[in-house]
Amino acid sequence: MSEFIATTDVCKADEKLGLVFGYAMVCKINGEPYFDTQGHHIPEDTMLRTLSKFMESGSVAKEMHSGEPVGKYVFAFPMTDEIADSLNIAVEKTGALVAMKPDNPETLAKFVSGEYTGFSIGGTNAVFEEVDES
């Protein structure tokens, strides 16, 4: 068991709403498994279980994976190939879609300016498995 930090991707920061939208976890891009810079891949079924537990546990946002909470995830939607197909939606990426509401203007400003390009999503008890990429 180990700690993990998920791959994230901020897509839009909306100052008027005070929300930051994007992917909290990326599973696939163009139908192919996505591997982050540490070589980690989060399968869609794992993302579904993890996202559910994360939202049930309070969905706290931290600043760069440490310190005190700086916001909360107020929306979350799992986008898998199966869910996209059932909704008749074509997607290039699958993963956990979220909206995060920062608690203060300073944190929101870091997303708006592009200083922050990802979300702070982490967890414990991750089990990493070797994957044969051939």
In a domain, 100, yes or no: yes
Task: Convert the pLDDT of each residue in 115-132 to its tens digit.
Answer: 888 776 654 444 445 555
In a domain, 67, yes or no: yes
In a domain, 80, yes or no: yes
Statement: residue 107 has pLDDT above 80 = yes
In a domain, 131, yes or no: no
pTM equals 0.79
Domain residue limits at 77:
2-126
Task: Convert the pLDDT of each residue in 8-24 to its tens digit.
Answer: 678 899 999 999 999 98
In a domain, 88, yes or no: yes
In a domain, 134, yes or no: no
To 5 degrees, how large is the angle CA 87–CA 83–CA 128?
Answer: 160
Report how many domains make up the chain: 1
Quick one: three-class SS letters along 22-40? EEEEEEEECCEECCCCCCC
For residue 79, the one-letter residue type is M
Provide the 10 A C-beta neighbour count for residue 8. 21
Statement: residue 105 has pLDDT above 70 = yes
In a domain, 34, yes or no: yes
Task: Convert the pLDDT of each residue in 34-52 to its tens digit.
Answer: 988 778 899 999 999 988 8
As given in the structure block, the two tokens for residue 51 are 């996202």
In a domain, 133, yes or no: no
pLDDT at site 59: 75
Task: Convert the pLDDT of each residue in 54-102 to its tens digit.
Answer: 888 877 776 655 567 778 889 999 999 999 999 999 999 999 999 999 9
